[in-house]
Structure 1
Amino acid sequence: MALDMLRMEDIINYGSKCLPYLIPFLFLLVIACVLLFVTKQKPEPSRKLIRSESVIAVILAFALGVTGICMGPMYSSLSLVMQPAKVLSDETAAAGAQLSSDIGDEGVVLLKNQNGALPLAQKKLNVFGWASTNPCYGGTGSGGVDSSTAISLLAGLKNAGFELNDELSDFYTSYNTVRETGSLDGNTNWTLPEPAVDSYPDAMLENARSFSDTALIVIARIGGEGDDLPTDMSTVKYITDEPGMAHEGDFVAGQTYLELSATERSLVEMVTANFENVIVLYNGANAFELGWVDEYENINGVLTVAGPGQDGFGSLGRVLSGEVNPSGRLADTFVYDLTQSYNFNNIGSFLYDNTQEFADKDTDLYNLVSFVNYTEGIYVGYKFYETAAVEGLIDYETTVQYPFGYGLSYTTFTQTMGDLKENGDGTITVDVTVTNTGDVAGKDVVELYFTPPYTNGGIEKAEVNLLDFAKTSLLEPGASETITFTFNEEDMASYDDQVNRAYVLEAGSYVISIRSDSHTVLDSRTYNKTETLVYGEGNARSTDQIAATNVFDDARGNVTYLSRADHFANYAQATAAPTGYSMPDEVKAVFLNNDNYNPEDYNNPDDVMPTTGADNGVMLADLAGKDYDDPLWNQLLDELTVEEMSTLIAKAGFSTIEIPSIGKIATNEIDGPSGLHSFFKPSMKGYSYPAPTTLACTWNKELARRLGEMIGQEASEVGVNGWYGPAMNIHRSAFSGRNFEYYSEDAVLSGEMAAQSVAAAQEKGVYCFLKHFALNDQELNRNNQLCVWANEQAIREIYLKAFELPVKEGHATAAMAAFNYIGHQWAGGSSALMKTVLREEWGFNGMVLTDAALDGYNYINGDQAIRNGTNAILNPDLVEETSVHDQTSATSVLAMRDSTHSILYAVANSNAYMTDGDTASLSWETVFYLCLAGVILVLAVCEWITIRRYRNRIK
């Protein structure tokens, strides 16, 4: 979530929450003023007594009102603002800068390089496109980065030794200096400023031709939290009355934001007509339609930079100059026509027309229930395109322009596989030798895929599936490196949600291949499985605590899912847009939100009230480093009162509270996936790294691990214990506004990169909130009680897999529940997700936090959360509806105890308790209460003096 810049509605919202606490003060103030006048004729002793008592009462009421505000609606904000200001050490800042540059160097993807155009021999460069002076450094919202100190695109080129045509950049700067940003309320201005070609002075173009025959065209697209990218620009706001903005006719009906505007197309025409050597840079994390680059003979080079962060444009300069050999690979598939994508009809806004009874009665913003159908099932991204090509559904060459995993280099490599080796323990090992056969040093990526046996009409299986990957070191010409992969055969199992209701490794031939991208095979070996293996009850996969079985049948809904059977015979039916917008009666009967959820309906009469408020003398520091099941936890939990537990659960916005009775100190948590930053205390921040999509484009696990190490180091220096990241959702669609926060369309690439970062950060004591768990793959209607309908196979293989790997391999101890519903159940209230899958199957120990519980979100419910495996409420506004209301039943108190255990376990194993027991610093709450006690003491003394003086005057 994100708390953006303070707006008038925020001020009004906070004011309305604070006012009730000041009513006694205002009431007494009015009375005091009245008494000031009506007591003028009273005898002096009575007059002074009444006035003194009035002043004391008013001051006391004000102090208590301020206390209520500070410990109520303003608690989370104050907890962040009152944190001591700390900054990174020079050494850490320098290390962050180096890592940012390293990620940028390997995250630039070279897509086209004909005629040896790159690296550029010509050091004089004309840079065209308004985005050259106002590029995208990442995205907006909680995953945004501070670009105020970032290396600009033009500075990155100049730092690499290029001489630029400043007349062009001055022209763009004078045209417009403002890029529209995303809006959390979905009211984004999608303006794409670009000067019309007839506004370019003839003399300026003539000067540019004389300056250099080489031109770089920059096209950029930005996304952000709260809104998805438009699929039809004719229906959104992108024209404004301000000078230097978009133009009428830039888009016609049916054109998307991820196509060239008419003005951009005219720019391309102008540049290609005037310059011999043209290079195109696409700057954005959302896969863009680039088919037009092949229409012009003199567009010799194409590169993409997803989100460069603070230093990534320096990398662009180094790649263009040849100082760095590009080694990035795409994390998504780039197709020629996004409107023909398999799920294009099932992305966007779909509102039920018969759910008025579930509307939020207090706001007009979130008053309907919405839905989205994941009709494509497991066939997401390259898994669809590669399978559809084999089945004859599509012509691959005219559909896919740049495959998943694609990227070029300035040198050439060969890759050869050794034989598969079965190790006797269910694992398989294979060596891949990479040799640099070119003329310059470079790094290569080894992409290991498998193709499973498929039976027509049987378990759905994609033709190509990423199994593992690795990146070589820098190889000099002629040098070789051998990379050894070891994987479990169970990693090739498919989830059968129809017959076995379990993971199944079917008998047959499994082709293990190395590819330069998802489509191009370099070498392969075959693994033969002679017998089908079902990972059912009593035979769980080696990485599972218990065997996985169906728990999301209710999320399947009344949806036709895409099937490979008979060469995708149901493609037209499965990929069609929804025709019905009414929620079925059987779903309405079980749909829950704050209006109809009653915790008493879910109480278990057999539950026994646990011990609370005991005096066992156990402190939280005593549990640091101990297992989740250590018996000492029970003694500690017995000490807590119901009030302490409920407050810990409810007040968890960017922090966890202090609990003096067990020596628990307050902790700090912070956004975001591209680097630590706080909306409340701007000085509390780390380095602004390239976007996670850029990190994924490096295909370098070591860089991901280094990022986690830096997050851990930075957190310790700026006083942070928890990181709201990494973000693990899938690029289901190119139009998702938060794709820049997420890694890839592929769960293995996403999950492995995240696992490395999480493991490294947690080694340094930072608990990492994997978010948004789960199926929060679009921004449209994310708070409109969005029901995601998906089959269990897709849920497990595509959308949960990315979270599964950092839990199992990275040992994550925190997660953030998604805003959306899974089927008819809010994700944070889904026991199947939070208990069965996360904890029982995957063995997760730690806390789950909701996403932001703000006014108008009529379904984030504290009672429902804690009873179903979610432990804490990200409650920056302290919305009353999200508190735990049932504090008397044994069922609820047991749920509070479990939630408290999970929260405290994450905290006890964090850097908050890696300080040799030195936790003596006073929290701001303690200081506040000491000050309040001082005020009350002073008022008590004043009261004593007032009474004594009154008695003396009477005498």
Structure 2
Amino acid sequence: MLDYFKTKQAKKNEIVQKVKQDKTKLRVRKQEIRGLPEEKRKAAIAQDKQLRKEQKLQRTMEMKALSRKDRRAMKKEAKRYKKIKNRPRRFTGWSIAALIVIFLFVQFGTLASGLIDALTGKHITAVTDSPEALAAREHGGEIAEEIANEGIVLLKNEENQLPLQDKKVNVFGLAALELRYGGGGSGAGDTSRAVDLFEGLENAGISYNTELYQRYQEVGAEAGVGAKASTGIIQVVKGMLGGNSSDEPTIDYLSDEAIAQAKAYSENAVIVFASESTEASDATAEQLKLTANKRALIEKVSKSFDHVTLVVNAGNALELGFVEEYESIKSVLWIGTPGPYGANALGNILAGNINPSGRITDTYVYDNSSSPASENFGDYKYNNLNYSFLNYQEGIYVGYRFYETFYLNDEKGYQDTVLYPYGHGLSYTDFEWKVLNQTLSEEKIELQVEVKNIGDRAGKDVVQVYYSAPYVAGGIEKSAIELATYAKTSLLEVGQSEVITLTFATEEMASYDMNVEEAYVLDPGTYAIKVARNVHDIVASYDFKLAKKKIYKEDKDTKTAYENRFDLAKGEITYLSRNDWKKTYPSDKNISHDAPQYVLEAFSKETEDSTLALPTVGADNGIVLKDLKGLAFDDPKWAAFMDQFTLNEMIDYVANGAYRTMAVERLGVPKTLLMDGPAGYSYFFKPVEAASYPSEIVIAATWNNDLAYQMGEAVGKEARAYGIQGWYAPGMNIHRTAQGGRNFEYFSEDPVLSGKMAASMINGAEDQGIIAFMKHFAMNDQETNARSGNLIWANEQAMREIYLKPFEITVKESSPLGAMSSFSIIGTKWAGANSVLLNDVLRKEWGFDGFVSSDAVFGFMKAPAAVVAGNDLMLDIMTPSKNEKLLEEAYEKDPSGIANGVRTSVQHVLYTILQTYLFE
């Protein structure tokens, strides 16, 4: 037997060596081809393609001549070769191990006991090499490229510079050698099959200057740039240690001779401008600005070429005002973090093979510090409490809500501040809109808009509908304009028309009155319903007049009465008001760093014992889980089933909930596999071979709900093929500022777009019978101090209208089976131990009936507090035994509270698992 394993390992080593040799040959060959003159390069590419076809045919003929046994062996070897060739790059080297140890020490303060389990990923049992898995992964790749096709945004296109007439370009910028396909952390997908920028150009039929490319290869080698970007924990740790650099080197390498050669090649210049984004660290204000080296590059290229295109490869809203300083920068393309096939989409858009149809999901301003939220973003620590804090002083005035309201009657001020309005995006063709019909009533708002392509090429358009509610000075705070709904057309040929219907409930225009009614209110007056190309470009406006004030006192679906539920999170701060901008404008200059007495008392208060009856444990009622399929959560049979669990089984089940749920075989409970992440299946510590998608910010930029559904569906099909039952996605937090480290992983600064995109994605995934976890619930809008405990101070209106709204929309429109609580401490309660948030709002008010998992567990996140507050599983990969012990100790003090808590938590999870494909 030992000889057998030695032989098997030797064969594997042989294949690994063959893969390495073939990859080296391919890399050398690519370098050779890229160094050839254009005509010879095209001939060499065609020759290599023909050679590969001949080799494939030869292998087929050879295989046919073999015996069945030899044929099977040859197929098996080819399959193993392909698997090893395509697998994601593994973490190697002691320097990487050291980074991980540093990360764990920073996060946990000590090396966690579960380190080996975490690094080996022993829980990760996905089967990714079956025929079904390969087919699902291939389908996912197709959807990923389609998202990139529609998510890229044409921000500027003077003199119709794009699409390129001359299909020859000079590519400038070190970032071109290393596209950012996604961000770091759980939002990083598998990029082992990624297409680089130059391959994307070639695939689209665009030639590039190979001499300039070779020059950048040399510069990149000196700077350590050019290999595939690191992802997962490596990029996160580098970001925490300040190692993620996206600056350009000094431009000494661009000599006059180099520029002259480039100009002789083509008058088209493409500059790639990138910025890193990663979980666990936020961007500094400086990282979103133009560095001196980048400006020097742009200055030189812009002065040397008449036709310059800027490609923005970033998940954060960068300050792009400099594009107006250079006349030759005639076009700007935002590609975000576009996934592994984003380069194909970029090439096709530059070439005109695809007409861009994306729209930005953030407001782009000349100076990001002009946002009031930026005044309270960053590192704020208490002097008398071992926690940090954040004051959301801006209230509801986040993103465009601030700019459109503050500059309501000051167009010059607006134009001097805002570069690209929210929802902005251009096309290569022109569309004419005609509103055919409108129904404006107290129940619903409905518009029928005819969109006609009057340009000279096929394309898609986006119709956005906003509303402006009447504002009463000193009354409820209201943005001057808010997004209500949107729709994207199908591909319209030249001269073709499409009528789209846009509908929303009139109730959705109500504002939350936290001061008087503690309910949603429509004030009397005129509501302007606006059909728009973006938030600031209004095509048509219609008035809806409401004679009397209308108050919505309860949720229309659950009939739960509204009330202020988060008064304790309001804090002792002044919130921004349009009634007096000057006196209420946020500032962190004079804020107190001393936690008030009531906060200190909340953190020192002992948990009160429960008065519930102790539940039955360890009974033998002869019921297994499948017997409960289709029964209501409160059916008596559930109680009889749950009576069969022992206390230890329930404690173990809750504490060991990281990337899995445990099996309880005697009760017919199967194990499940739960996986990250929003850009495709991934695991923080170990690569996973799976389809990889653009980041959520690019998905949202498509403004295409159907495409979001198709992505969720593709992920669901992969799950079924791989043996995965749960997906830790989508991320739905708000781009409160441009600096958020995970902005790439979240959809937008607007809650409506975020909620509708998430709902569509979840519908697609859960239609395949898997659990999607909307996350991070809630107020997880910056990375700084998030994992050590951030107290979030915000008022009820802002929480309901901005930060909770995406989750509410998602619950109402997709009935998600899972939710992930956030790291944030809302007022004085960690989100995962906040019964008001998880039970009163999520479950009772909105009607959520799935289960809640924590996010990764850090020191202040305790299982005993979680299970009694509605958080069902602990995503604790490092210290599950610690949480088991905490639950056991808590049981000794409060047996009825802990026993009932873990029992309810386990039932929540099992009720959800019954709705997955495991029980079809």
Q: TM-score, normalised by structure 1?
A: 0.81
Q: Which residue matches 2:434?
A: 416
Shift of 1:265: 0.5
* Cα deviation code 1:588-617 (max 9, x no counterpart): 1112xxxx575xx32222x11122222222
* Cα deviation code 1:448-471 (max 9, x no counterpart): 111111100100000111111110
Q: Which residue matches 1:352?
A: 382
Q: Which residue matches 2:273?
A: 219
Cα separation, partners in 2 of 1:776 and 1:491, compared to 1, 3 Å: same
Cα separation, partners in 2 of 1:423 and 1:276, compared to 1, 3 Å: closer
Aligned: 1:202 with 2:207: no
Q: Is the 8 A contact 1:388 1:394 kept in 2?
A: no
* Cα deviation code 1:739-780 (max 9, x no counterpart): 110000001001100001101211111111111110000000
Q: Is the 8 A contact 1:449 1:512 kept in 2?
A: yes
Structure 1 counterpart SS, 2:680: coil
Aligned: 1:908 with 2:911: no
Structure 2 counterpart SS, 1:648: helix
Where does 1:250-261 land on structure 2 (aligned, <5 Å)?
A: 256-261=286-291
Shift of 1:76: 10
Q: Which residue matches 1:570?
A: 583
Equivalent position amino acid for 1:435 in 2: K
1:556 is aligned, of 563, 570, 583, to 570
Q: Which residue matches 1:865?
A: 866
Q: Which residue matches 2:675?
A: 670
Q: Is the 8 A contact 2:771 2:818 kept in 1?
A: yes
Q: List gaps (5 residues or longer) in structure 2.
A: 1-89, 106-112
Mapped partners of 2:899, 2:865: distance in 1: 13
Where does 1:51-200 land on structure 2 (aligned, <5 Å)?
A: 74=117, 79-81=122-124, 84=127, 86=129, 89-176=133-220, 177-178=224-225, 181-183=235-237, 186-200=240-254
Where does 1:291-440 land on structure 2 (aligned, <5 Å)?
A: 291-355=321-385, 368-390=386-408, 392=410, 395-421=413-439, 426-440=443-457
Q: Which residue matches 1:732?
A: 736
Q: Which residue matches 1:949?
A: none
Structure 2 counterpart SS, 1:783: helix
Cα separation, partners in 2 of 1:556 and 1:668, compared to 1, 3 Å: same
Q: Is the 8 A contact 1:642 1:887 kept in 2?
A: no
* Cα deviation code 1:880-912 (max 9, x no counterpart): 443323335112211111111111112111123
Where does 1:922-937 land on structure 2 (aligned, <5 Å)?
A: none
Cα separation, partners in 2 of 1:125 and 1:859, compared to 1, 3 Å: same
Shift of 1:90: 3.8
Mapped partners of 2:236, 2:122: distance in 1: 27
Shift of 1:696: 0.4
Equivalent position amino acid for 1:406 in 2: H
Cα separation, partners in 2 of 1:14 and 1:732, compared to 1, 3 Å: closer
Shift of 1:115: 0.8
Mapped partners of 2:177, 2:268: distance in 1: 18
Mapped partners of 2:306, 2:628: distance in 1: 69
Equivalent position amino acid for 1:691 in 2: S
Q: Which residue matches 1:270?
A: 300
* Cα deviation code 1:372-417 (max 9, x no counterpart): 1111100110111111111559810000000000000011112232
Cα separation, partners in 2 of 1:159 and 1:82, compared to 1, 3 Å: closer
Cα separation, partners in 2 of 1:502 and 1:881, compared to 1, 3 Å: farther
Structure 2 counterpart SS, 1:142: helix
Shift of 1:632: 2.5
Aligned: 1:501 with 2:518: yes
1:623 is aligned, of 620, 628, 642, to 628
Cα separation, partners in 2 of 1:542 and 1:418, compared to 1, 3 Å: farther
Q: Which residue matches 2:80?
A: none
Cα separation, partners in 2 of 1:804 and 1:122, compared to 1, 3 Å: same
Structure 2 counterpart SS, 1:288: coil
Mapped partners of 1:891, 1:76: distance in 2: 35
Shift of 1:479: 1.5
Shift of 1:534: 1.5
Q: Is the 8 A contact 1:728 1:743 kept in 2?
A: yes
Q: Which residue matches 1:849?
A: 853
Q: Is the 8 A contact 2:144 2:341 kept in 1?
A: yes
Q: Is the 8 A contact 1:610 1:890 kept in 2?
A: yes
Shift of 1:274: 1.2
Q: Is the 8 A contact 1:76 1:654 kept in 2?
A: no
Equivalent position amino acid for 2:879 in 1: L
Q: Is the 8 A contact 1:184 1:225 kept in 2?
A: no
Mapped partners of 2:344, 2:465: distance in 1: 31
Structure 2 counterpart SS, 1:395: helix
Q: Is the 8 A contact 1:14 1:73 kept in 2?
A: no
CA RMSD of aligned residues (A): 2.4
Aligned: 1:289 with 2:295: no
Which protein has the larger Cα radius of gyration, Structure 1 or Structure 2? Answer: 1
Aligned: 1:744 with 2:756: no
* Cα deviation code 1:80-131 (max 9, x no counterpart): 2455554553432332222111111111100111111110011110000001
Q: Is the 8 A contact 1:490 1:541 kept in 2?
A: no
Structure 1 counterpart SS, 2:237: coil
Q: Is the 8 A contact 2:465 2:531 kept in 1?
A: yes
Cα separation, partners in 2 of 1:623 and 1:816, compared to 1, 3 Å: same
Mapped partners of 2:536, 2:860: distance in 1: 44
Q: Which has the higher helix share?
A: 2
| Aligned pairs, number | 807
Q: List gaps (5 residues or longer) in structure 1.
A: 16-68, 232-255, 356-367, 915-955
Q: Which residue matches 2:817?
A: 813
Aligned: 1:604 with 2:622: no
Structure 2 counterpart SS, 1:524: strand
* Cα deviation code 1:44-92 (max 9, x no counterpart): xxxxxxxxxxxxxxxxxxxxxxxxx99x984996642455554553432
Mapped partners of 1:816, 1:639: distance in 2: 28
Structure 1 counterpart SS, 2:808: helix
Q: TM-score, normalised by structure 2?
A: 0.84
Equivalent position amino acid for 1:794 in 2: A
Cα separation, partners in 2 of 1:307 and 1:152, compared to 1, 3 Å: same
Cα separation, partners in 2 of 1:436 and 1:337, compared to 1, 3 Å: same
Mapped partners of 2:876, 2:691: distance in 1: 26
